[in-house]
Amino acid sequence: MPDITTRWDIDRMQGDWVLSGPSLQSGGDLQTAVLISLFTDRLALPGDPTPDGDRRGWWGDDARYPIGSRLWLLNRVKGPQDVPQRAQDYAAEALRWLIDDGVVASFDIAPQWITPNRLDLTITANRSDGSRVAMNFPQVWTR
């Protein structure tokens, strides 16, 4: 059974379900899995500095594969020194389960400076059959 289609609402910086008439649209399972993986707050590691001491995360996380990413930790970063590398690392960590479960063969993850105060993220999913699915996520980091 396909997932409910989720799209990224740039203006509100959140995911939203897509309607098809009066019903929820289904399909786009890979994109929905990537959105949930990237933009759900993963539990911070014990050594991660957090803005208020709250490590966030989800109480039902599986120890092997916690849900979400640590991209939220970039919200308080002031300067762009290591933001692209951290965004790439956090995205790779969040998407690893899709590779391990055989959903995709690999991901190409490319952070891109748009302005000195904005970082976008392009994710390309490489499927085992050779097909590729490209997804763009604007404003992963803004200051």
Quick: pLDDT tens for 24-37.
666 568 888 998 89
67, 40 contact by CB (below 8 A): yes
In CATH, what class is 6-142? Answer: alpha beta
- Which alpha helices (DSSP H) does 1-143 contain, by range? 29-39, 83-100
Q: Quick count: other Cβ atoms within 10 Å of Cβ 92?
A: 14
Quick: pLDDT tens for 49-67.
887 889 998 877 877 778 8
Q: Quick count: other Cβ atoms within 10 Å of Cβ 72?
A: 17
> Which pLDDT does position 90 carry in this prediction?
96
> Which pLDDT does position 21 carry in this prediction?
78
Radius of gyration of the chain (CA): 15
Q: Where are the domains of the chain?
A: 6-142
Q: What is the DSSP string of 32-61?
A: HHHHHHHHSBPPPPTTS--SSS-----TT-
pLDDT of 1 strictly over 60? no
